[in-house]
Amino acid sequence: MSGVRKQVLQILPGLLFLFLISLISGILMPRFVRLLPSSLLLAIPTAFLAFAETLVMISGEVDLSLTGSLVLINAVAVSAYTDYHINEFLFVAVPLIVGLIIGVIHGLLVAFGRLNSFLVTAGTSFAWSGLALVILRQPRGNVPLWFAEIFSTGKILGIPLAALFALIASLFWLLFSLSPLALKSYAVGSSPKATFSFGINVNRVKFYAFVLNGFLIGMAGLIMTGIVGSGDPRLGGFSTVLAVLAALIGGATFAGGTGNGLGAFLAAIGLQFTRNLIAWVGVAHYHLDLFYGAALLVLIAGIAYLRRSREI
């Protein structure tokens, strides 16, 4: 089936990148393999963000609110539990619900409001991170005990968490690719006008892309909250840029119409490993961001250069 072959080809860049970085890390860093389960788990939130970003980029838009959204989700979840003593099992649903709400808001603004997606999400990023600060005021709070334990042991019912989440992501991508929404999203991202002429509601497709994106950000938020174990309004850092870069490696472009969620997922893990590698190389911690930023820049430049259109 040519569909499977196409998928494999698309996932390849991300997979190769991850493999390469793992190989280098494995050679240079003595404890790489032993630390693998935890470093994998730490990378999963960003991986979900990359997946989320890909969905949006396929349909021709972009989401720059990832850092802010992540922080807000964390804040709301932790606050709901710590301040309002929400039911422990409901707690797991909170990040997903907040993520969905954020997705819906973005969807309404960009798809139906016809606002420019990168400016709008840049703006909402501020709004969300500000709200997170309002809710938490400072790093504090806690999560249900059983929840924190799962993440500190890194296993649930004996299954390594990272593997479980990777499986969930793969399933999600499978479901998406097989759904009618997928083809429509690629079409909308490539040629909105032609797709419109087919009688397809372009705005609705973009809206759904943002809603799914919100849900996946919710997943990332859920996992991140589990890892950190409390609320921290300063979370995030490079998340947005990492997610976008991973999406690019996964085949997405700013023009829209291409991209692979799984490829981005894997690429994000690779990028996180890259950061660990740079940290290990021994740069002083206040130089870390500088080198990492430079490394990311080189990667982006490489991708952009390879893809540049021969035009003006």
Partner 1 sequence: MRSKLNKLKQRFQAKGKSLLPFGLVLLLLLIGQFFSPGFFSLSHLTHILTLAAPLGIMAIGQTFVILSGKEDVDFSSGANASLSIVLTAFLLQRYNHGITILIILTVGFIFGLMNGFSVRVIGIPPLIMTFCSSMLLYGVGQAITRGMSIGTSTPVLTFMALGRIAGIPVAFLIWMGSTILAALVLHATIYGRWLYAAGSNPMATHLAGISNKVVGMVAYALSGTLSAFAGLLFLGRFSIPSGFRMAEIYTLPCIMAVILGGTNFFGGEGGFTGSIGSVIALTILDSFFTIFNISQAWRTVMYGLLLVIILIFFVRREKLRI
Partner 2 sequence: MGTWKIVKWKKAFGQVEALKELSFELKPNRIYGLVGPNGSGKSTFVKAITGLVKLDGGKLFKDDCEVSIASPKHAWALGISAAYQDLSLVPNLSVKENLTLIAKNLARLRGSNHAALLQEFHTILDTLNFTAPTSSKIGHLSRREQQIVEIAKALGSGPSLLLLDEPTSFLTERDIERLFDLLRQMRSNTTVIFVSHRLREIFLICDEVIIIRDGKTLATLDLRDVSINELVKIMSGGASITWESVRTEVTSSRDTESHYFLAEVEARRVNKIKVMLKKGEILGIAGLVGHGQSEFLKAIYGIIPSRKRVELDGKPVIIDSPSQALRYGIVYISGTSSETTLPHRSIRENISLVINGLKSGFSLANIVSERQLASAMVSSLGIVCRSVDEPLRYLSGGNQQKCVLARALSLAPKILLLDDPLKGIDTVTKAQFYKLIAEAAKNAAILFYSSDVEELLPIVSRVIVMYEGTIVGEFTGAEMTRENILAAALRGGKE
Nearest approach in angstroms of CB 147 to partner 1 is: 26
Nearer to partner 1, 206 or 263 (CB): 206
Nearer to partner 2, 136 or 247 (CB): 247
Nearest approach in angstroms of CB 68 to partner 1 is: 8
Nearer to partner 1, 86 or 133 (CB): 133
Residue 134 site contact among partner 2, partner 1, none (CB < 5 to 8 Å, cut-off depends on kind): partner 1
Residue 186 site contact among partner 1, partner 2, none (CB < 5 to 8 Å, cut-off depends on kind): partner 2
User: What single-letter DSSP state applies at residue 140?
Assistant: B
Q: Residue 239's CB: how many other CB atoms inside 10 A?
A: 24
Q: Rounded to an integer, what distance in angstroms lies between the CA atom of residue 70 and that of residue 218?
A: 8
Nearer to partner 1, 2 or 309 (CB): 309
Residue 120 site contact among partner 2, partner 1, none (CB < 5 to 8 Å, cut-off depends on kind): partner 1
Nearer to partner 1, 34 or 287 (CB): 287
Binding region for partner 1 (CB under 8 A): 62, 64, 109, 113-116, 118-120, 122-134, 137, 192-193, 196, 202, 238, 241, 244, 254, 284, 286-287, 289-291, 293-294, 296-297, 300-301, 304-305, 307-309, 312
Residues contacting residue 231 through CB under 8 Å, at least 6 positions apart = 74, 75, 77, 78, 79, 82, 136, 139, 140, 141, 225
Q: Residue 123's CB: how many other CB atoms inside 10 A?
A: 15
**Sign of the Cα pseudo-torsion (218, 220, 224, 227, in order):** positive
Residue 146 site contact among partner 2, partner 1, none (CB < 5 to 8 Å, cut-off depends on kind): none
Nearer to partner 1, 202 or 271 (CB): 202
Tokens of 241: 């840029």
C-alpha angle 244-95-91 in degrees, rounded to nearest 5: 155
Nearest approach in angstroms of CB 205 to partner 1 is: 12
Q: Residue 9's CB: how many other CB atoms inside 10 A?
A: 12
Q: Residue 204's CB: how many other CB atoms inside 10 A?
A: 15
Half-sphere exposure of 298 (CA within 13 A, CB side): 7
Nearer to partner 2, 5 or 85 (CB): 5
Nearest approach in angstroms of CB 132 to partner 1 is: 8
Nearer to partner 1, 163 or 294 (CB): 294
Nearest approach in angstroms of CB 225 to partner 1 is: 19
Binding region for partner 2 (CB under 8 A): 2, 180, 183-184, 186-187, 190-191, 193-201, 257-258, 310
Residues contacting residue 182 through CB under 8 Å, at least 6 positions apart = 176
Nearest approach in angstroms of CB 228 to partner 1 is: 19
Residues contacting residue 150 through CB under 8 Å, at least 6 positions apart = 156, 161, 226
Residue 307 site contact among partner 1, partner 2, none (CB < 5 to 8 Å, cut-off depends on kind): partner 1
**Is 94 within 8 Å of 248 (Cβ atoms)?**
no
b/e burial code for range 282-301 (CB count within 10 A of at least 16 → b): eeeeeeeeeebeeebeebee
Nearest approach in angstroms of CB 200 to partner 2 is: 6
Residue 290 site contact among partner 2, partner 1, none (CB < 5 to 8 Å, cut-off depends on kind): partner 1
The DSSP H or E segment spanning 33 is helix 32-58
